[in-house]
Amino acid sequence: MESQESKIFNYSKQAKKVAFICMGLGVLGIVLSIVLPDMSANHYSRFWSNLLLNTYYFAGIAITGLFFLAAHQLGYGGWHVLFKRVPLAMSRYLFVIFGLVVLITAGLLLDWHNLYGHWAHPHEVAYADTGMAEADRIVVSKSPFLNKTMFAVIVPGFFLMWALFSSAFTKRMTFIKSFKEYNQSKYLSALFILVFAVSMSVLSWMFIMSLDPHWYSTLFGWYNFASYTVAGFAFMILILLYLKSKGSYPHLDENHLHDLGKYLFGFSVFYTYLWFSQFLLIWYANIPEATVWYTKRMAEPIFEFLFFFTFLINFALPLLVLMRRDSKRKFKVLGFVAVMMVFGHYLDFYGMVMLEPNAVVEHHDDHHGEDHDDHHGDHNTDNGDHDSEEVALLSVAEVEQGDDAHHGDDGHAEEGHTDEAHGGDHEDYHGEASEEAMGHDEHHAEDHGHGDNHGDGHHAEEPATTHAGLGFVELFIFLGFLGSFLFVTFRALDRQDLENVEDPFLKESKHHHI
């Protein structure tokens, strides 16, 4: 008979050391993101963008554990009972996530960052069709939902609910001793599924999609869900493989991991279906307000590369490798695919988050800026020291729809378009950095036949540049989150009996065979 000790997991000092090293690298990445000179003029966007990216990504991984348990509980599943403590332990990281979300929300309320500057501080912009300055129509139309008060209530509120569900699941499901307790846990699972179905969509809109409030996708919530769920199953597989290697799960075998491998494969296909559906609908409709989200990214080499690379790594790799039955039963092969999915879907979220708040644009020379002094003097009265700099925010949607006005007699219609695209620059409310702006679409102005010369004979903006790069800063901050996630997860499992011997479905789970 196997000893009880063989089912106990001891979080070793060596494993803790690795986690602390990763967290130390994360701190170093945060410091670098703050002190780098090219970011100081952009409200430390690189730091805040990485914080937002990793917070949301690891929140999705943690909540996948609860979704996995709730779905099987409602479906009368029993094969997973052997290792159910692992997804429960993963969900404990939601308390850390809640603290980080509060920090991001405080940054929004106190103007510490410009992540949501497009809608948090709407500006008056000049419209060519009226010739008058008025508030950004798109942003104003969404202001009942996209405003600081709603964000401060809804976003931390939903993340707090996720964290409280983690506590409730841990208390209710860790030591189920009878079928009565098992049936009672179904009410909790049903309530979670209901809350999760609503919250996961709303959070994706407010937390991620609102980075560009002029764009929206009806598939965005499901697309986000599919992406971080794949990463969540990948982490679950890797943690179980590690525990198995340490002898803490003597009854865990290739049958359990095979089923998890099928989830990894199935959700990868589901993710690709949503990825392609979102792109295809926007592509064939060819509505400028929708295509701008993709065209802006295609104008930046790193985002264009990631667009195709993430498709290959997140679909082609699991499809070709995990389609075979034996691949899902080989621990090394399954582990390799799981590692690639963790990084692949991190890059997927990178493409969603990092472009908007990190973008800057090269400006006109002084001569060109002087020609616009009068216009900017009225529009940006609090920025008199920067009259020689033009705020350039040109949308593909406005370029295609306002061709005639763009070449109007007054020579200033371009200004109306440039301000309209994203509701003005962050300069208007921070007064520090008028060089910050989303100028990616200046490329598109040339592509749509507006050339280098405008109605007033001046040259167009210089090509846009971006500081959103994949470097040591991003790597270190990701490793910091990874280390803290593993530390919290393994601390929740430390010195615990990983098998609940009184669970009515444990015997079925131990003898699971497919």
What span, in angstroms and rounded, lies between the C-alpha atoms of 59 and 159? Answer: 9
The per-residue pLDDT for range 112-163, each reduced to its tens digit, is: 988 998 888 766 555 555 555 556 788 888 888 999 999 999 999 999 999 9
Nearest to 22 by CA among 484, 489, 498: 484
Does 87 or 379 have the greater pLDDT score? 87
What span, in angstroms and rounded, lies between the C-alpha atoms of 50 and 474? Answer: 7
Does 369 or 60 have the greater pLDDT score? 60
What span, in angstroms and rounded, lies between the C-alpha atoms of 34 and 45? Answer: 9
Residues 6+ apart with CB under 8 A from 1: none
Q: How far is CA 105 from the centre of its chain?
A: 16
Mean pLDDT, range 461-473, rounded to an integer: 65
Mean pLDDT, range 407-432, rounded to an integer: 40
What span, in angstroms and rounded, lies between the C-alpha atoms of 232 and 60? Answer: 7
pLDDT > 80? residue 451: no
Instruction: Please state, for a pLDDT cut of 70, what percent of the chain lies above it.
Output: 74
Torsion-angle region of 43 (φ positive above 0: left; ψ -120 to 50: alpha; else: beta): left
Q: What are the two backbone dihedrals, phi and then psi, of residue 93, each rounded to the nearest 5 degrees?
A: -70, -15
Does 470 or 426 have the greater pLDDT score? 470
What the block records as the tokens of 499 is 């098998």
What span, in angstroms and rounded, lies between the C-alpha atoms of 366 and 390? Answer: 10
Q: What are the two backbone dihedrals, phi and then psi, of residue 270, each rounded to the nearest 5 degrees?
A: -65, -45
Does 374 or 501 have the greater pLDDT score? 501
pLDDT level of residue 467 (50, 70, 90 thresholds): low
Cβ-contact 135, 122 below 8 angstroms: yes
What span, in angstroms and rounded, lies between the C-alpha atoms of 248 and 143? Answer: 52
